[in-house]
Amino acid sequence: DAGVIQSPRHEVTEMGQEVTLRCKPISGHNSLFWYRQTMMRGLELLIYFNNNVPIDDSGMPEDRFSAKMPNASFSTLKIQPSEPRDSAVYFCASSLQGARNTIYFGEGSWLTVV
Amino acid sequence: QKEVEQDPGPLSVPEGAIVSLNCTYSNSAFQYFMWYRQYSRKGPELLMYTYSSGNKEDGRFTAQVDKSSKYISLFIRDSQPSDSATYLCAMNRDDKIIFGKGTRLHILP
């Protein structure tokens, strides 16, 4: 079975550039989560969607970050403009009916902003 | 005070030893308690899941929850080199999962 698929796996970009991270959740899952992981702050929830609708975006650090889920099989996380402090691993995860069921993580997108 | 505290390690133990990993938390509203394992350059994967105080066993792994002390533990018996990973505790609140920072574990052959 295909798991959560993320792209790109690695991205190096210059400060000020736009970054778009993509996610395909597990088929049939209706909840999707975006997390960011750093050594300093650990794994932080940025935003989560239920049935393609953003439910909680309180973890989105600032207006430079935006996320969309146009349909049940695709989501994007965009950073514009990017800054060096955005360097982190960004994980997408999905589940059936929210966080009370097992959430399955993708392998992450490793972002470096120089 | 952070909602979930976890010692980052690293923790190095010899193969075959019993490993004890722990987390404390401050919010009594947490309902579900989980342990995730994360191998290097991979996403976290669910290892254990429990919602009540007491012990839950799955093979070499035992999860323990003490709600009165706001303390959870993961025990690994007969540890193997393949258990070397980062272990993250996690707790559910209001349909959100809050993660600890993770403990890096090295099992020495």
How confident is the model over A77-97, as pLDDT tens digits? 999 999 999 999 999 999 998
Which residue type sits at B79?
Answer: S
How confident is the model over B73-103, as pLDDT tens digits? 999 999 999 999 999 999 987 778 889 999 9
Return the residue in A30, A43, A47 with the most chain B beta carbons within 10 A, the one to mutate for interface testing: A43
Query: Where are any strands of DSSP class E within B7-70?
Result: 11-14, 19-25, 32-38, 45-50, 54-58, 61-66
> Which chain A residues are Cβ-neighbours of B51 within 8 angstroms?
none
Q: Does B96 touch chain A (CB under 8 A)?
A: yes
Q: Do B102 and A107 touch (CB under 8 A)?
A: no
| First CA to last CA distance, chain B | 37
- Locate A86 and state its tokens: 């955005």
Q: Do A107 and B41 touch (CB under 8 A)?
A: yes
